[in-house]
Structure 1
Amino acid sequence: MDKLIIAGGRPFSGSMQVAGAKNAALPILAASMLGGGQVRLSNLPDVGDVRSMLELLGLCGVETGDPVHGRIEFSTEALRAADAPYDIMRKMRASFLVLAPLLVRFGRARISRPGGCAIGTRPVDLHLGALEALGARIDFGGGIYDVQAPEGLRGARIALPMASVGATHTALMAAAGARGETEIVNAAREPEIVDLAAFLNGLGARVEGAGTYKITVQGTDSWSDVSHAIVPDRIEAASYLIAAAMTGGELEIIGARLEHLGAACQILEQAGIVIYPSDRGLIARRGGALTSVDVATEPFPGFPTDLQAQFMALMCLADGVSVIRERVFESRFMHVPELQRMGADIRHDGSTAIVTGVGELHGAQVMATDLRASMSLVLAGLVAKGETTVHRVYHLDRGFEDIEGKLRRCGAAIERVAE
């Protein structure tokens, strides 16, 4: 197990390349199981969750090899209906996404209950409800979901009770292999949904309306070879925009896209971050004193829950008081006591945190509790007086590619060492 040691107080300058989006790469890798042809992917992020998904594909008979500079090519012709093992399922919730493609391909899939970060209740009922709407039969026992559709899935209307990203991914993949047309209502609108839809269109399905509340899918059983570039990671990009402002430097985030930031861009600008496009992406710097801003997390295009912890670290340095409401996951404030160790003034009550800006943070020993919380602690360490040690950074490695290398090249004093 590794830890990061950070000496704070160094302003940033330079540029860094944003990686492909983990939350787009995972469903796309799962969707590659639908056909039996060649899949060529580029901009694939080198992060722990992607490596776990490639391992899962391997256990199902798909020889992917290792990505080289973000590129990978493989065939899914030899795919077999293997059970998704508990050891992988417990580490990565997104492994549940292989359920729909395996069901389409073989008429049956068996999969363990998923795990992942402990950030709140994330039931799979919406995923299973989407499959049931298309004609699947579901049994659960011994921690295993046994899902069957021996005669294949049939197009239908899927009305999601909430705009769940994961359930929309599952519905899209299942509908792509169902007979006839499927309508998905109250669909999630995130850029990662649009990216999966583009991949499915490349495979041979016909998906329309991705990025809106209603998506229609014309299924197919005639699959094509496909080449696809993973969309850039908007959460990584926004995290580094925040890093530029917190350290008082200026960064160019290569590959970042303004249209993918949604409400986050407006909120960050209100907080005092100057953001403008360059020929290669986005440039960010602090525009003056940081200002406290109230925010509530919401599905895209609202402020993302995956950026809440990083924004809280920013608000620790802002003038005034910020009220942060978490409306997506009820247990996503586990970074609060760790930031308090560094001198942050945060009061936490239920789904609301009240952050009063302080003059400076102080280095401390802190513990990463989940993927995004890890990044908030790194950001705080970059500006803290003295040395900060972030333990359990395997959380961070699940979703951020070469974080210490990228930060070091822009001026940070950060080192990875074994515990």
Structure 2
Amino acid sequence: MTYTIVPPQKILNPQLEIAGGHALSGEIRVSGAKNSALVLMAACLLTRDPIRLRNIPPLTDITAMGEILAALGVQVIRQGEAIELNGDHINQSTAPYELVNSLRASFFCIGPLLARTGMAKMPLPGGCQIGSRPVVEHVKGLKALGAQVTIDHGVVTAVVPGQGHRLRGGRIHLDCPSVGATETLMMAAALADGETTIDNAAQEPEVVDLAGLLIAMGARVRGAGTQTITIVGVDRLHGTDYAVIPDRIEAGTYLLAAAITRSHLRVAPVIPEHLGAVITKLEEAGCRIENDGIGLTLRADHVRAVDLRTQPFPGFPTDLQAPFMSLLATAEGTSVITENIFENRLQHVAELQRMGASIRMKGNTAFVEGVSRLSGAPVQGTDLRASAAMVLAGLAAEGITTVQGLEYLDRGYADLEGKLNGAGAAIRRTSAS
């Protein structure tokens, strides 16, 4: 078993020191999509053949998923922005608790592991503490495919009864369009006997990317990107070479960085259709955006208030709610932001208030009255996207902002400070005293 991967720069108790007030210019390159790469890595469990994935970002979450797959017996070799996964010698059906507990996406492994081996045991997952994200939809769907599923002492055990240990196709209706459940069940159904239909499926681009990989491996999938996905199971899947889509959330974060600094910046590569709701809101706020099909160029001179509500794709993404709030804290007028996806995803409000933002809360709604300036302050990132929001606020603030909680930031942004510094920002990663 081989496992090599390069983690982000190691500094004891790291923090970012941001000197605000610097305009951005030029171009920032977008890495591969973290949320897509993680599930595509899990799909290697469906075949004995090697899978080569390109455009893989160097993130701590990718490192963690590699460690989980290695613990299951997968050979994992990282070479630059590519990763090769060989699941020919899977020797475990149980993922280690200490690894799974740090990465929610690890639960994706239950679907392909069950389909391939007839048994899977996965501890209930961890990750960012942004609210309740139950696995009930995953469990219900696996049962519809013929699995026997039990949850005991924090461990989900799924078994395919009978000879052959093969799942059978079925009809699944998701009570909510869960991305994770949709992806887990797509992978499980790819090797099932017969046809599976997933109704009220998630429509996110990452779901479409998974379908692309599965099809490249020989699966029969149609309807990905719509509310109904149909999978006709096959006897086996083969290896392939596949490139991960650009990260739409990272791209959106850099567009917001340009907007909050009132700058002129190109962000590429981008699939513009993946950012439709974000582009609409930025333009509504007064930003000018040029789309050349490969990248987006944003110009911002004046930003005005807008209202937004987070929704499943193609609505406004919850992952950009916190960064967008940083922008609106500097806009002219009062914005109303409603978080409809995760109940605990407004923890960044208190940190923005430390920087002088004028925000009033009522339940899952924030009323953001734009101020003429933010002031640098010590702040704490409480989850991945809240950490990004603090960095954006620091770019626009007067004075020095120090951002702690980089264990969250490094889970989803590859060399964030390096990319922003290359465009004119002044950010330094140091050890907190």
Report the TM range for the smaller structure's normalisation. over 0.9
Structure 2 match to 1:42: 54
Structure 2 match to 1:298: 311
Q: TM-score, normalised by structure 1?
A: 0.98
What amino acid does structure 2 have at the position aligned with 1:135? G
- Pairing 1:221-370 to 2, within 5 Å after superposition: 221-278=235-292, 280-286=294-300, 288-370=301-383
Structure 1 match to 2:384: 371
Tell me, in whole angstroms, the C-alpha distance in 2 between the residues paired with 1:115 and 1:60. 18
What amino acid does structure 2 have at the position aligned with 1:265? I
Instruction: Give the 3-state SS of the residue equivalent to 2:234 in structure 1.
Output: coil
Q: Does the 8 Å CA contact 1:81/1:102 hold for their aligned counterparts?
A: no
Q: Does the 8 Å CA contact 1:2/1:393 hold for their aligned counterparts?
A: yes
Q: TM-score, normalised by structure 2?
A: 0.95
Give CA-to-partner distance per residue, 1:124-160, whole Å, 9 cap, x none.
Answer: 0001111011011111112111110143210000111
Tell me, in whole angstroms, the C-alpha distance in 2 between the residues paired with 1:297 and 1:183. 27
Deviation at 1:81, TM superposition (A): 2.4
RMSD: 1.0
Structure 2 match to 1:27: 39
1:113 aligns with 2:124: yes
What amino acid does structure 2 have at the position aligned with 1:98? C
Structure 1 match to 2:202: 188
What amino acid does structure 2 have at the position aligned with 1:33? L
Moved more, 329-338 or 86-95: 86-95
Q: 2:415 aligns with which of 392, 402, 407?
A: 402
Tell me, in whole angstroms, the C-alpha distance in 1 between the residues paired with 2:85 and 2:203. 29
Moved more, 86-95 or 371-380: 86-95
Instruction: Give the 3-state SS of the residue equivalent to 2:336 in structure 1.
Output: strand
Moved more, 26-35 or 82-91: 82-91
Q: Does the 8 Å CA contact 1:322/1:354 hold for their aligned counterparts?
A: yes
Tell me, in whole angstroms, the C-alpha distance in 1 between the residues paired with 2:121 and 2:20. 48
- Pairing 1:203-218 to 2, within 5 Å after superposition: 203-218=217-232
Deviation at 1:67, TM superposition (A): 3.4
Tell me, in whole angstroms, the C-alpha distance in 2 between the residues paired with 1:181 and 1:278. 40
Q: 2:398 aligns with which of 370, 375, 385?
A: 385
Instruction: Give the 3-state SS of the residue equivalent to 1:5 in structure 2.
Output: strand
Give CA-to-partner distance per residue, 1:169-189, whole Å, 9 cap, x none.
Answer: 111111111111101100010
Q: 1:125 aligns with which of 91, 113, 136?
A: 136
Tell me, in whole angstroms, the C-alpha distance in 2 between the residues paired with 1:106 and 1:59. 15
Deviation at 1:82, TM superposition (A): 3.7
Tell me, in whole angstroms, the C-alpha distance in 2 between the residues paired with 1:85 and 1:274. 48
What amino acid does structure 2 have at the position aligned with 1:161? D
Deviation at 1:73, TM superposition (A): 2.1
Tell me, in whole angstroms, the C-alpha distance in 2 between the residues paired with 1:178 and 1:275. 45
1:93 aligns with 2:104: yes
- Fraction of identical pairs, as percent: 50
Tell me, in whole angstroms, the C-alpha distance in 1 between the residues paired with 2:236 and 2:32. 28
1:66 aligns with 2:78: yes
Structure 2 match to 1:75: 86
Tell me, in whole angstroms, the C-alpha distance in 2 between the residues paired with 1:222 and 1:163. 28
Give CA-to-partner distance per residue, 1:214-257, whole Å, 9 cap, x none.
Answer: 01001112211111100000000011011111112111111112
Deviation at 1:341, TM superposition (A): 0.3
Moved more, 86-95 or 407-416: 86-95
Tell me, in whole angstroms, the C-alpha distance in 2 between the residues paired with 1:392 and 1:291. 30
Aligned length: 417
What amino acid does structure 2 have at the position aligned with 1:53? M
What amino acid does structure 2 have at the position aligned with 1:261? L
Instruction: Give the 3-state SS of the residue equivalent to 2:346 in structure 1.
Output: coil
Tell me, in whole angstroms, the C-alpha distance in 2 between the residues paired with 1:279 and 1:208. 25
Tell me, in whole angstroms, the C-alpha distance in 2 between the residues paired with 1:265 and 1:79. 43
Deviation at 1:279, TM superposition (A): 6.1
Unaligned runs of 5+ in 1: none
Deviation at 1:281, TM superposition (A): 1.2
Q: 1:156 aligns with which of 170, 182, 187?
A: 170
Q: Does the 8 Å CA contact 2:78/2:84 hold for their aligned counterparts?
A: no
Tell me, in whole angstroms, the C-alpha distance in 2 between the residues paired with 1:139 and 1:167. 17
Q: Does the 8 Å CA contact 1:20/1:231 hold for their aligned counterparts?
A: yes
Instruction: Give the 3-state SS of the residue equivalent to 1:33 in structure 2.
Output: helix
